[in-house]
Amino acid sequence: MNLINLTAQEIKTKVLNLEISPLDIVEQFLNNIEQKDKTIGAFAHIDREYAEICANDLEIRLKKGEKPALAGIPIAIKDNISRKGYLTTCCSLSLKDYKGVYDATVVSKLREAGAIIVGTTNMDEFAMGSSCENSALHPTKNPWDLNYSPGGSSGGSAACVAGGLVPLSLGSDTGGSIRQPASLCGVLGLKPSYGRVSRYGLVAFASSLDQIGSFARNYQDLNLLTEVISGYDKKDSTSVQKDLNLNFDKDKTITVGIPEEYFSDGLNTDVRIKVEEALDYLTKNANVKTIPISLPSLKYAIATYYVIATAEASSNLGRYDGMHYGTRFDGENLTDSFCQSRTNGFGDEVQRRIMLGSYVLSSGYYDAYYVKALKVRRLIANDFQDAFTKCDVIIGPTSPIAGLKLNEDVDDPMSKFLLDIYTVSANLVGLPGLSVPCGFGDKNHPIGLQIIGNSFDEACILELARRFENAGHNNKIAEIA
């Protein structure tokens, strides 16, 4: 029985009906991954041993009559999510041989739900990047076009779902690192509200912005995974005691706000056309009403994000000195050892962001940059709060472009910062954001529609995704698969 092209829900049904065993699933999916990932490079580490442990545990539970929520579904997790006893390297030389000393809360929940974790996915080092080219291991290629990037930093997680290697995966989103690769790879990618999913066990980049989220190829599978990983966790001080309720009135008219700032100069023509077509379709066929809105502070979002994110990164990555964690590069003395470990352990993009963050936190610049950025962050939040008094969700493009060529703008790293222009604001405010495939550009590159909801209102944005998908906008597995 060929399982590779089945949805997660279909695999679960076959497992619970005892039509196929968990070990058969491991064998079929891992053989497919080992064959096809040589081309895509979506995985950082493929873990047959771990997958077999998950499968054997599930087999025992099935014999007891248990029916776990993700029974037998293969899933990949980003390489910055800890698993006890297994590599968690953040695709960095500084953590080259590091093995987690505990399970992240999301890993525990996946295991409890009967999922089969097959490995960890490639990423931009420490989640810093927008193209998955900053990995210390290898670049990941977009399954739709191997000359193009899958986006980042969760590029491996998006590519392995788009390429049919697994039906579900987890990523992390600090400024668009789930939604942007979801858009470029033609899959669904959800960043939940800040505090909805526990960050315990997620290697920190920027603690006030990071959030674990999900990739899937259809609305139903995304719902399934979101329900499993959500929930309060006492181990995470930022976790919020707010139940996830995805029940939504199917007959309710959803009011969609269209920010004028999302359709200004810089938006690729292909993207504009497909997003406008999607909005037109929703208005005519999905019980949606659109209204124009304005987010005047949005023009400051990129600058605000990169001040706050790099400042927090500078603080969080200070622990990687070669003494406490990861790879040590010995120098002539202690100070030189610190310098050598950080110089050789961190890639260019990570060093760039640490230096920028250290600068904005330094004496004489703290008030001028960091404190000012926090004030602007509040202005951006106020704009969204005002918008949500008029509409239920906000819609626009996920990415300003339809494709990002590998090795493009390598001498101009600032240009890639602008790829996050439509996504960073949701992280600054802590809102849920979802990228949904809405078509292809003239070069057959996927394009994503971004839906941003009010805080902890995942139900509304997922309902809108359901209406759009049920209307015939189902995405496909990339042709290379």
Task: Give bridge partners of residue 291 from the DSSP assignment.
Answer: 257
Among candidate residues 177, 183, 425, 435, the one labeled active-site is 177
99 is known as an active-site residue: no
Which candidate, 357, 347, 369, 348, places its Cα nearest to that of 412?
Answer: 348
Among candidate residues 36, 78, 274, 416, the one labeled active-site is 78
Q: Which two tokens stand for residue 395?
A: 């819609």
Give the C-alpha separation, 188 to 182, whole Å: 6
78 is known as an active-site residue: yes
CA distances, 300 to each of 199, 295, 369, 389, 424 (Å): 27, 10, 13, 22, 11
Give the C-alpha separation, 197 to 347, whole Å: 29
Cβ(40)–Cβ(165) under 8 Å? yes
Q: What DSSP string runs through 457-477?
A: -HHHHHHHHHHHHHTT-----
DSSP run (H or E) holding 170: strand 168-172
Cβ(119)–Cβ(33) under 8 Å? yes
Q: How many residues does the chain have?
A: 481
Give the C-alpha separation, 118 to 102, whole Å: 18
Which candidate, 320, 393, 331, 420, places its Cα nearest to that of 98?
Answer: 320
Task: Give bridge partners of residue 439 from the DSSP assignment.
Answer: 447
Kind of pairing between the strands at 168-172 and 74-78 = parallel
Which candidate, 8, 472, 480, places its Cα nearest to that of 216?
Answer: 8
Among candidate residues 92, 153, 169, 425, the one labeled active-site is 153
Cβ(27)–Cβ(59) under 8 Å? no
Q: Which two tokens stand for residue 426?
A: 């949701």
Q: Which residues are catalytic?
A: 78, 153, 177
